[in-house]
Chain A
C-alpha cells in the first residue's frame, strides 16, 4: 500500500451513510462549483466548466426536488471509484453522484497528470475544512496498476464504480467484495448518430454551424474515443447534397483539431483494412486533408458494433430507410444515439417497441458527452442508495 499517493484525505474514510441529496452534500458541491467557476485558470478547460456548472446549487436543488422518495433513502456506506485513466473529469462526476447518494468515497483519480485533475483536487482541498461531514467521507488517491492494492480497497467497499472499459472492469471485478456490495460498471460501448438529410438542407447557416460544432464536441473533442462518441452516421433521408453540406461544415469546424501524425497513419491504415475486411465499404472519402474520413457502406454489416470503430475523425455512413432498419444491428454494446432532424420520442418508441438490447441514451447532436445522474442506462443515485421501506 506504500505506492498509494493520497491527493486528499487518507486511509480512514467514514462509512456511516448520509441521506440522499443531504444538505451537507449539496452545500459542499455548490461551494465547489463556486470556487471552480471563479477560478480564471479553469475557464480554459470546458470539461471543468461543465462539471462546475452541473454542481451549481440551483441544479442540485432541482435534482433534489425531482427525487420523490428522498425521505426514505440512505447511502450504502463506502464507495470505491476507479476512474478512467484517459478522461480528465469523470472522476469528479463519479464522486459527486456518489456523495449525493449519501456515501463516503475513495476515489482513484486518473493516473495521467491532467491539469484538470489538479485544479479540481485543489479546489476540493481548499473547501473541505468548511464541510467536516464531507471531509471525513472523502479520499482521493492514485496508484500504478496493482491488483493487490485494488483488492484491499475492494474489500472495504459497499459499492464500486468501475470506469475504464472492458479490461479494467474485468480486472476490478476479479477482486472479492463484501456480499452486499453493488457494482456500477462502465464497459466498452458503441455509439451512433442518426441525421435527417432534408432537415440539414432546410437548416439555416447558424443552425448548421451549431450542428457542426455539436458533432465536433461529441467526437473530435475526445478523439472520437469516448464511449458515447458516434462511429456510425446514418441518414434517414438525404441526398448527396445534404451529406456534403453537413460534412463540409464539420470538416471546416474540425480545422481546430490537433491531428497527430500517428492518428493519420492509423486512419489511413484503417481505411485499407476496411477495404480488405469489409465488403460493405464501397469507397472512402477524405475531406479537409486527413481530418475527416468517411467510409460509405452499401449496407449495414450485422457485427458493425464489434469491428467498425473510427478514431480521431473516421466515420462510417449509410442510408437508414426506416428507423426499424436499426433493429438487426443493435446489441447490448450500443450506448448513445445522437440525432438531428428526427424526433427523440420516435427513436425511443422504436427501441421500446422492438425491445432492443442496446441504446441507453437518445440525445441531440452535441449532447453525447453530457453526463448526469442517469448514465449508461443506470439510475446511479438509485443504485448507490438503499430504500428504507415501510408497510
Chain B
C-alpha cells in the first residue's frame, strides 16, 4: 500500500507512538528514497556509490542520508523543471553560498499545511494579533529577503492586524507598539522574530532604555542560531527571563528547522524540550562511525521529514550537534522524540602546508 501524506495530515501533530511512527517512516522514507533515486540523477548516483538497494524497504536509521551542504553545491530536484513552483534559498551568512531547494505545488502546499498544524497546536486555530519583532524592511530589501524574509512572510498567515515592531534603524517603535497593545487589550498576542534580533534589538535595547511593555497574554515564537548568544553566555533560560522582563507575560517557544526541510519544524514545549511532530523525526549519530547515540549522548543531528517530494531532502545529515532527551514521555504530553540542540559543530582545525583563508 502506498504511503499517503494526506492520511498523515488527518492526524494530530504529536499523536504517534514509537512503534506506529517507525512503521510509517520505514514505508514512507523508503518510498521517498525510491522516488528521488528515479527523479534526481545526482541522488541516484550517490545511492549507487553507497551501494544502497532501493528495491528494499529500510528502517529509518538505515536510510541513506544526504549532507545538507550538497544543496549549496548542486541543484537537486526530483521533478521536471516545469513543475517547480518555487525555489527557496537558505539565509546563509553574507558571502557564503546559499542552498537552493526546489518545490513543486504539492510540496509548497504540504509545507504550509504542516506548519499550520504544528503552530496551530500551540496557539489554536484562530488568527491572532501579530507583532513581528523585526523591521518591515525585510520584506522589501532584496538582500535581506531569503529565509529571514520568507520566514516572516510565512508566519504572517497566523496573524492579523500585523505590526512590525522595529523601525528601519532597528530601534523599537515604542509608541506604535504601545498603541497596538492598547488596541488589543484583553486579547492573546502572537509575537514572532529571529532569536538574535530579538535579543539585541528588543530584550537588551528595552532593558537599557528602562522600557517595560506589560503584555498580558503573549506567545512568542523565535527561530535562528544560538551561536552569538552562546558567545555572550546567554542561556535559553536567561533569554526567556529577559523577554518576560521587558515584554510582560509571554510564553516563549524556540523552534528549529532548516531551509532544506521547511514546514516540518521542531518546536520547544513549555518544558524547554524540542519536539518532533509526526511529520518529522530526528536521529543522533556518533561522528566516529555514525552509529546511533544513546539518549543523553551528544552527536550529529540527522533530520527526517515526510514532506520533501520534489527534492531529495527527506533524510539529511546536518552540521549541528544535539542529544535525544526522551521519547513519548515528555511531561507536556506530546508524543514523539524530544531533544536538545547544542548548535553548529566546531569547524575542523586541520594542519597543512597551505595557509587557510577564511571566507569573508
A and B from one assembly? yes
Chain A residues near B (Cβ < 8 Å): 84-87, 90, 163-168, 186, 188-189, 222-223, 225-228, 259-266, 268-269, 271-276, 281-284, 288-291, 311-312
Given contacts A223-B352, A264-B287, 13 further A-B contacts (CB under 8 A): A84-B352, A84-B354, A86-B352, A86-B354, A87-B351, A167-B357, A259-B287, A259-B288, A262-B348, A263-B350, A271-B50, A275-B50, A283-B49
Interface majority SS on B: helix, strand, loop or mixed? loop
Beta-carbon nearest neighbor of A289 in chain B: B289
By a CB distance below 8 angstroms, the chain B residues around A164 are 353-355
Chain B nearest Cβ from A162, distance in angstroms: 11
Do A165 and B353 have beta carbons less than 8 Å apart? yes
Chain B nearest Cβ from A284, distance in angstroms: 6
Q: Specify which of A163, A271, A284, A291 is in contact with B353 (CB 8 Å cutoff).
A: A163
Q: Specify which of B49, B67, B321, B351 is in contact with A86 (CB 8 Å cutoff).
A: B351
Chain A nearest Cβ from B156, distance in angstroms: 35
Between-chain CB contacts (< 8 Å), 22 pairs = A84-B355, A87-B351, A167-B354, A167-B357, A223-B351, A226-B351, A261-B346, A265-B67, A268-B67, A268-B317, A269-B67, A271-B49, A272-B66, A275-B45, A276-B46, A283-B49, A289-B288, A289-B289, A289-B290, A289-B291, A290-B290, A311-B348
By a CB distance below 8 angstroms, the chain A residues around B350 are 86, 223, 225, 263, 311-312
Do A227 and B288 have beta carbons less than 8 Å apart? no
Chain B nearest Cβ from A333, distance in angstroms: 12
Judge whether B231 is part of the interface by a CB distance below 8 angstroms: no
Do A222 and B345 have beta carbons less than 8 Å apart? no
Judge whether B319 is part of the interface by a CB distance below 8 angstroms: yes
Q: Specify which of B42, B74, B300 is in contact with A261 (CB 8 Å cutoff).
A: B300
Do B347 and A262 have beta carbons less than 8 Å apart? yes
By a CB distance below 8 angstroms, the chain B residues around A266 are 348
Chain A nearest Cβ from B226, distance in angstroms: 17
Chain A nearest Cβ from B264, distance in angstroms: 22
Do B288 and A290 have beta carbons less than 8 Å apart? yes
By a CB distance below 8 angstroms, the chain B residues around A269 are 67, 69-70
By a CB distance below 8 angstroms, the chain B residues around A275 are 42, 45-46, 48-50
By a CB distance below 8 angstroms, the chain A residues around B356 are 85-86
Beta-carbon nearest neighbor of A266 in chain B: B348
For B310-352 the 0/1 string (1 means CB < 8 A from A) is: 0000000101010000000000000000000000011111111
| Range of interface residues on B (Cβ < 8 Å) | 35 or more
Given A265-B67, A268-B317, A269-B69, decide whether A165 and B355 contact each other with a Cβ distance below 8 A: yes
By a CB distance below 8 angstroms, the chain A residues around B300 are 261, 264-265
Judge whether B73 is part of the interface by a CB distance below 8 angstroms: yes
By a CB distance below 8 angstroms, the chain B residues around A163 are 353
For B15-55 the 0/1 string (1 means CB < 8 A from A) is: 00000000000000000000000000010011011110000
Do A312 and B348 have beta carbons less than 8 Å apart? yes
When chains A and B are docked, how far (Å) is the Cα of A223 from the Cα of B349? 9
Report which residue of B50, B70, B352 has the largest number of chain A beta carbons within 10 angstroms of its beta carbon: B352
By a CB distance below 8 angstroms, the chain B residues around A265 are 67, 69, 287, 300, 317, 319, 345
By a CB distance below 8 angstroms, the chain B residues around A222 are 351-352
Chain A nearest Cβ from B217, distance in angstroms: 42
Q: Specify which of B49, B289, B353 is in contact with A281 (CB 8 Å cutoff).
A: B49
Do B345 and A227 have beta carbons less than 8 Å apart? no
Do A272 and B288 have beta carbons less than 8 Å apart? no
When chains A and B are docked, how far (Å) is the Cα of A276 from the Cα of B346? 27
Do B67 and A272 have beta carbons less than 8 Å apart? yes
Chain B nearest Cβ from A279, distance in angstroms: 8
Beta-carbon nearest neighbor of B354 in chain A: A165
Do B70 and A262 have beta carbons less than 8 Å apart? no
Report which residue of B70, B288, B317 has the largest number of chain A beta carbons within 10 angstroms of its beta carbon: B288
Chain A nearest Cβ from B347, distance in angstroms: 6
Do A86 and B48 have beta carbons less than 8 Å apart? no
Beta-carbon nearest neighbor of A186 in chain B: B353
- Top 7 closest pairs, chain A to chain B, by CB: A289-B289, A165-B354, A225-B352, A275-B49, A262-B348, A164-B355, A261-B287
